[in-house]
Amino acid sequence: MREETRYEEVVMRCRKNCTAVLGIGAFVLLWMFHAAEGQQSEPKVLTLQQAERMALENHPGIRAANERVKVQEAVLARARAGYYPTVGVRGSYENRPANANPNADEDLFSTSGQVNWLVSDFGRREGAIRREQDTLEARRFSERTSVEDVVLAVRRAFFDYLRAEALVRVEQDTVKDRETLVRQAQGFFDVGTRPKIDVARAEASLFAAKAGLIAAQNGVRIAWARLRNAMGVTRFPEHPVATDVNVRATTLSLDDAVKAAFESRNEIKEFRSRLKAQQEAIEVVKRGRMPRLRFDGQYGRRWHDDQDIVSSMLILDVPLFTGFTLKPDIEKNVRDYAVIKAQLEERQQSIALAVEESYLNLLEAGERIRANEAQKKSAKENLDLANGRYQVGVGSIIEITEAQVINTRAQTDHIRSIYDHKVAEARLARAMGRGSEFSP
C-alpha cells in the first residue's frame, strides 16, 4: 500500500516537472520566434530614403529650427492676448491711529476685484498681431530651408560614401592584377627568360597598389563618419549601402531652372514674409500718434465701515508730445525694411549663381562620363594587349605596369564622374527648391 502511494507521488511530481519544462520551452521558443522576426524586419541595406528619414528624425539643426517656430508661435499668442482684459483681486490692511482717539488704533480692511481692458489703440494691437503672423510664416519657411539643407548634406555624404566604396573595389582589382604580375615576373625569372629587375619593378608596383588600397579603405571609414554626421546620429554601425544609381540628364534650360528657383526657394519666401512683417512694424510705429482707449473697473468692499467700492472709467490717452522719439523710431524701422529688401536681392543673386553653377557642373559631369567611358574601354583594351605581349615575351615590364596604371586611373575617373553627376543632380534640385523631386 505504501509502495502504491509512493509510486503515485512520484508520478505526480514527474507530471508537474514535465509541465513546467514544457511551459518554459514554449516560452523560449516564442521569444526566439519574435526575436528572429524582429531581426528580419530590420533593414539589411541602408537606402538614401532611409538615411534622409533618419536625418529628419535626429538632426539637431532641424530640431532647433522647429523650436524657433514654436517660440514665434508663443510670441503670436502673446500678441493676441491683447484682445482680452486682465482681471485681478486686491486686498489691503492698514493699521493707523483712530480719528476720534489718537491714543487708540483702528484696523482698516478692504478687498476688491479689478478689470483692465484696452478697448482700442486705433490699430496698433492689430498691426502687431499681423507682424507676428508674418514673422511666424517666415520662421516656417526658414524651418523648411533647414530641412532642405540637411537633406542635401545627407545626399552628398551618401554619394561620397558610394564613391569611396567603388574606389576600394578598383584598388582591390589593381592589387590582384599586380599580384598576378609578380607571379608572372617571378616565373619568367626562375626559368631565365626575364631579368631580376622585372620582379623588383612588379613588387614595387604591388606595394604601391596596396598603399592605395589602404588609403581607399580609410576613405570609406571617413565617408561613413561624414554620412553618420549628416544624419545627425553619433553612433550608427556601418551598414551595407544600396549602390543602385541612375544618371539622368536634365531637360530644363538654364533660364527655366533659375525661374523655377525664384518661384520655389523657401529662402525667397522667407524674406518676402519678413518684408511684410517689417511693413507692419512701420505702420505700428506710425500709429504712435494715435490715442488709446481703455476701460478700468473695480468692485469691492471696505470691511471696517461696511461700504462698497464701485468704480468704472473709460480713459482716453492722447499723446501730445513724446520727446522726439517717434520720428527716429519710424526712421529705424524704414531702414530695417531697406536692409531686408537688399538682403532679398542679394539672396536672389546667390540663388541664381548656385543654380547656374549646379547646372553647368551637371552638364560637365555628363560629358565627362561619356569621355571616361571611352577612356575606360580603351584602357582595358590596352591592358589586355600589354598582358598578352608580356606573356609571350614581347612586351616589357614597364609597358604592362604603365598599362595597369592607365587602367586604374580610367576606372577611377569614370567612378568619380558618375558620382560627381549625382551630387550635381542633388545640388541642382536643391538650388531650384525642388529637392523632393530628386531620385537616386
Query: What is the C-alpha separation between 128 and 78, in angstroms, rounded?
Result: 10
* Least confident residue range of 8-22, 28-42, 161-175, 248-262: 28-42
- The pLDDT value given to residue 304: 73
pLDDT band of residue 333 (cuts 50, 70, 90) is very high
Q: Give yes or no for a contact between 119 and 161, defined as CB atoms under 8 angstroms apart.
A: no
* Least confident residue range of 33-37, 168-172, 398-402: 33-37
pLDDT band of residue 35 (cuts 50, 70, 90) is very low
3-state secondary structure of 47: coil
Give the DSSP H or E segment for 45. none
SS (H, E, C) 59-89: CHHHHHHHHHHHHHHHHHHHHHHHHCCEEEE
- The pLDDT value given to residue 9: 56
Residue 115 makes CB contacts below 8 A (sequence gap 6+) with: 85, 86, 87, 295, 296, 297, 298
Please work out, in degrees rounded to the nearest 5, the angle formed at the alpha carbon of residue 371 by the alpha carbons of 369 and 374: 110
Query: Could you tell me the residue ranges of all domains in the chain?
Result: 46-86+122-291+324-437
0.85 exceeded by pTM: no
Query: What is the C-alpha separation between 331 and 108, in angstroms, rounded?
Result: 53
Please work out, in degrees rounded to the nearest 5, the angle formed at the alpha carbon of residue 316 by the alpha carbons of 313 and 321: 145
Residue 436 makes CB contacts below 8 A (sequence gap 6+) with: none
* pLDDT per position as a tens digit, 162-213: 999 999 999 999 999 999 999 999 998 998 888 899 999 999 999 999 999 9
Closest CA to 428 of 92, 155, 194, 97: 155
* 46-86+122-291+324-437 CATH fold: Outer membrane efflux proteins (OEP) (1.20.1600)
Query: What is the C-alpha separation between 30 and 138, in angstroms, rounded?
Result: 53
- The pLDDT value given to residue 305: 78
Max CA pair span of the chain: 138
- Other beta carbons within 10 angstroms of residue 301's beta carbon come to 15
- Other beta carbons within 10 angstroms of residue 351's beta carbon come to 19
- The pLDDT value given to residue 217: 96
Query: What is the C-alpha separation between 421 and 198, in angstroms, rounded?
Result: 40
The gap from C-alpha 326 to its chain's centroid, in whole angstroms, comes to: 43
Would you say the C-alpha torsion 370, 372, 378, 381 has a positive or negative sign? negative
What the block records as the C-alpha cell of 254 is 538654364
- The pLDDT value given to residue 39: 37
Distance separating the N- and C-terminal Cα atoms of the chain: 84
The gap from C-alpha 367 to its chain's centroid, in whole angstroms, comes to: 31
- Other beta carbons within 10 angstroms of residue 405's beta carbon come to 16
- The pLDDT value given to residue 1: 46
Q: What is the average pLDDT score of the chain? A: 87
- The pLDDT value given to residue 99: 67
Residue 22 in this model has a pLDDT that exceeds 90:
no
Query: What is the C-alpha separation between 57 and 45, in angstroms, rounded?
Result: 19
- The pLDDT value given to residue 23: 53
Section 271-291 average pLDDT: 93
* pLDDT per position as a tens digit, 334-389: 999 999 999 999 999 999 999 999 999 999 999 999 999 999 999 999 999 999 99
Give the DSSP H or E segment for 215. helix 196-230
- The pLDDT value given to residue 104: 61
Section 241-269 average pLDDT: 88
Residue showing cell 508674418: 134
Residue 413 in this model has a pLDDT that exceeds 90:
yes
Closest CA to 110 of 295, 296, 297, 310: 310
- The pLDDT value given to residue 218: 97
- The pLDDT value given to residue 306: 80
